Chains A and B, each alone.
Chain A
Amino acid sequence: MHALEEYGLMHVKLYEDIARNGHIATTYAYPVKVEGRYVMDPSPTPKFDNPKMHMSEALQLFGAGREKRIYAVPPYTEVVSLDFEDHPFEIQHFDKPCALCGAEHVYLDEVVLDDKGGRMFVCSDTDHCEDRREHGHAGHLLAQQEAAE
């Protein structure tokens, strides 16, 4: 986490992103402002989960590898994603729930299934996904497989 100094720099990254891609294409390490004062890169949290950091009731820990330090964001802290007025912060929208566990409102990764264009979207957080499946949740792909067996 960087107080003030690197503030402009984080926005520079977003500027470059728009200049290159026409929109903010950053999906990971998407910078946030904490308590209106500190700017940090919340890796490994995906951008999709940035909004969940805001006023979270949990203590959140982040490791800044390069600086060999750990930063803590206390519970109920204001965490706002940086953006531009004409390119506001937006999270990705997924049309379907996780193909394996059926979870909604979670960040999904695209997985290619075969060389015929088959693909599925599954939880990016694999621990959480497994946990849900162990507790009996099933997405459409898992349900199909079970039906076939």
Chain B
Amino acid sequence: MSAVPLLKVNDVSKFYGSRTGCRNVSFELWPGEVLAIVGESGSGKTTLLSCLSTRLMPSSGIVEYHMRDGQYRDLARMGEAERRFLMRTDWGFVHQNPADGLRMTVSAGANVGERLMAVGDRHYGNIRATAADWLRRVEIEEDRIDDQPRAFSGGMRQRLQIARNLVTSPRLVFMDEPTGGLDVSVQARLLDLVRGLVHDLGLSAIIVTHDLAVARLLSHRMMVMKDGLVIEQGLTDRVLDDPREPYTQLLVSSILQV
């Protein structure tokens, strides 16, 4: 891990009219660190993730990102073009529903190749070879490269979405309930895969989940949200084995688990 945080989040709040999305959230994410955001439905997890990933503009507060050039940039002040470039090169976003993150009517190869083309790769043969390599890494048979994700199972689609995001070697990946819509056995395989990739690539990741098992398996650190506030945060093992807040204790003792 290098000596400075990748992401600095300072007092971020988001209100939808008079309703609270999330409130006064501050934390730092370090290179190579995986952070889980947990909490029950409506606690503000997705809202916070959206504010961090610039999909939503916070009502107040600052999110700063450590750019590859070594400078911190206030994401809210970044120009549209630069922000888009960041999102498709240095960042990834894995949606709960793969259809939201994939182009369902173009081939698997093109889904993976798109980001390469967006950053200027102009050699068809190389793009295809890299796409094939990534399909293999996410355990999709190479002969499916020209098939559209419409013809894929839910688990395959999610793995394809992951490959599409990781192909440009991003430094930070956001995931919103990445295993949410999948069967339990498929979930286990996907989690294993994600864990391996995150480790091999030294990725930083912020993973939203309401499943504490997912947090346990994937994250180093976790934040517990309730009513838009972060009520407890710490190393994952510490929070799960020795929760301090009564609400977290309830959550861990599975009384609140869905």
Residues in A lying within 8 Å of B, measured CB to CB: 3-5, 7-9, 11-12, 15-16, 18-20, 83-87
Chain A residues with Cβ under 8 A from B187's Cβ?
A: none
Q: From known contacts A15-B113, A16-B110, infer whether A4 and B123 are also in contact, taking CB-CB under 8 Å.
A: no
A11 to B116, CA, bound (A): 10
B124 part of interface (Cβ distance < 8 Å): yes
Chain A residues with Cβ under 8 A from B109's Cβ?
A: 15, 19
Say whether A15 contacts B123, CB under 8 Å: no
A9 to B124, CA, bound (A): 14
Chain A residues with Cβ under 8 A from B146's Cβ?
A: 19-20
Q: From known contacts A8-B88, A8-B117, A8-B118, infer whether A15 and B127 are also in contact, taking CB-CB under 8 Å.
A: yes
Q: Which 6 A-B pairs have the closest CB atoms?
A: A8-B118, A11-B117, A84-B124, A85-B123, A12-B110, A8-B114
Chain A residues with Cβ under 8 A from B55's Cβ?
A: none
The A contact surface, by secondary structure, is helix
A84 to B113, CA, bound (A): 13
The B contact surface, by secondary structure, is helix
B256 part of interface (Cβ distance < 8 Å): no
A86 to B107, CA, bound (A): 20
Chain B residues with Cβ under 8 A from A3's Cβ?
A: 81
Say whether B107 contacts A19, CB under 8 Å: yes
Query: Other than the known A11-B118, A15-B113, A84-B122, what 15 A-B pairs have Cβ atoms closer than 8 Å?
Result: A4-B84, A5-B84, A8-B118, A12-B117, A15-B124, A15-B128, A16-B107, A19-B109, A20-B146, A84-B123, A84-B124, A84-B127, A85-B124, A86-B123, A86-B124
Say whether A15 contacts B117, CB under 8 Å: yes
B140 to chain A, nearest CB (A): 16
A85 to B85, CA, bound (A): 23
Chain B residues with Cβ under 8 A from A8's Cβ?
A: 88, 114-115, 117-118
